[in-house]
């Protein structure tokens, strides 16, 4: 049975034990929430397609929490065509490309422009110079079915369960732009295959992620504990009571690796979620327990905005960092408050994993255990207090 079917939490344990590489992966966005998981899993001794040599690209200097992965780190601004050509065109041994990054702008038109440009820059720097390149994994998400954040409540979305064969919605969506760039740049290249991966809300570890719900909630809980106040659910009752789905970051990475090496996954798009459902009212108890908070829950008719709550909390976070000897971070770096308000402010839309299973990927996660494992990781790397 293949290792990605085991559904194991924290599977990234064994280390690479060979220097004879069968595959060479290039991870664009290696410090992101799925990029960090790819950086851990690809070098493992039993990863399919391996042993793997791994290059990792990110815009910032390499952080301490990513430094123990056996990855050749490349600091590069992929929005800068000159910088990317200078630093990536020499990577002639790359066999697999994992694109797991994005940039956020104020409008979706701008998102389409900047994200399309970044992805095209990468492909045009790598494809002509890497003759052994076999597969490209592109990560997007369930906004493919619901539309961009700015259109929430304004545009009708598809009726769940969301399946990969649903047509595109009208209006700009940078996920559509990314797919179109992928199709254009791989056209007339029969030996170069691709896959598109559409995770739901991702549970994972990255203090740099633009959409990290667990890291954001850990910071919120740590501040509530420090101030001795209840852990109020900062969302709507619809989100509190309804079924939700999540995508474990390791699972998303495993699905991408599966698609990169399994011929049956070529040139297909796949949803990716844990394969179960949860309710936020149940995970909220787990979060409270993880931070030793006895008073928690939702207050009827009282919706708390984390964007508003976080204003003026910068010095409180500095105290928490100092008192607990945490890694030096800023509140605005860790807390993606707008994203948490969005996720916790509406009923979740469930997506189907049938296509993925029908094509041979049987990976899954227990969402409660997944949630706990990532909270533990934020604590272990001293991003939040124990």
Instruction: Please identify every residue annotated as catalytic.
Output: 143, 175
The total number of residues written for the chain in this structure = 386
Q: Looking only at Cα atoms, what is the longest distance across the chain?
A: 62
- Give every CB contact of residue 162 below 8 A, 6+ residues apart in sequence: 142, 145, 146, 271, 349, 350, 351, 352
**What is d(CA 322, CA 47) in angstroms, rounded to the nearest whole number?**
39
**What is d(CA 18, CA 352) in angstroms, rounded to the nearest whole number?**
38
Phi, psi of 196 (to 5 degrees): -115, 135
C-beta of residue 165 within 8 angstroms of C-beta of residue 238? no
Residue whose C-alpha is closest to residue 334's, from 312, 314, 304: 314
Collapsed DSSP state (helix, strand, coil) of residue 31: coil
Q: For the stretch 258-267, what's the b/e string if a residue is b when 16 or more beta carbons lie within 10 angstroms of its beta carbon?
A: bbbbbeebee
């Amino acid at each position: 049975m293949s290792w990605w079917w085991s559904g194991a939490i924290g599977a990234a344990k064994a280390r690479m034990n060979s220097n004879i590489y069968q595959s060479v992966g290039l991870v664009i966005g290696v410090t992101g929430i799925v990029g960090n998981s790819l950086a851990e899993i690809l070098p493992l001794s039993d990863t399919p397609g391996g042993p793997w040599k791994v290059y990792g690209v990110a815009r910032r200097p390499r952080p301490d929490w990513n430094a123990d992965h056996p990855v050749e780190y490349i600091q590069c601004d992929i929005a800068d065509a000159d910088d990317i050509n200078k630093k990536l065109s020499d990577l002639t041994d790359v066999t697999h490309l994992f694109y797991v990054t994005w940039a956020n702008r104020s409008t979706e038109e701008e998102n389409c422009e900047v994200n399309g440009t970044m992805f095209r820059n990468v492909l045009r720097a790598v494809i002509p110079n890497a003759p052994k390149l076999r597969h490209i994994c592109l990560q997007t998400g369930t906004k493919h079915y619901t539309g961009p954040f700015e259109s929430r409540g304004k545009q009708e979305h598809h009726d769940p369960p969301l399946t990969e064969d649903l047509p595109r919605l009208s209006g700009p969506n940078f996920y559509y732009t990314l797919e179109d760039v992928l199709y254009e740049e791989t056209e007339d290249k029969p030996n170069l295959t691709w896959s598109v991966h559409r995770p739901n809300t991702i549970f994972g570890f990255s203090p740099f992620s633009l959409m990290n719900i667990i890291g954001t909630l850990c910071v919120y809980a740590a501040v509530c504990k420090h101030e001795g106040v209840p852990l109020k659910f900062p969302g709507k009752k619809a989100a509190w009571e309804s079924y939700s789905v999540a995508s474990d970051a390791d699972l998303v990475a495993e699905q991408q690796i599966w698609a990169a090496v399994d011929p049956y996954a070529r040139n297909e798009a796949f949803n990716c979620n844990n394969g179960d459902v949860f309710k936020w009212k149940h995970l909220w108890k787990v979060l409270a327990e993880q931070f030793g908070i006895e008073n928690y829950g939702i207050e009827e008719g009282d919706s708390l905005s984390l964007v508003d709550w976080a204003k003026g909390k910068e010095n409180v976070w500095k105290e928490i960092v100092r008192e607990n000897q945490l890694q030096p971070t800023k509140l605005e770096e860790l807390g993606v408050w707008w994203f948490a308000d969005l996720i916790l402010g509406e009923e979740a839309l469930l997506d189907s994993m049938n296509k993925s299973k029908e094509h041979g990927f049987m990976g899954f996660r227990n969402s409660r255990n997944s949630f706990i494992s990532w909270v533990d990781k934020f604590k272990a790397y001293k991003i939040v207090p124990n």
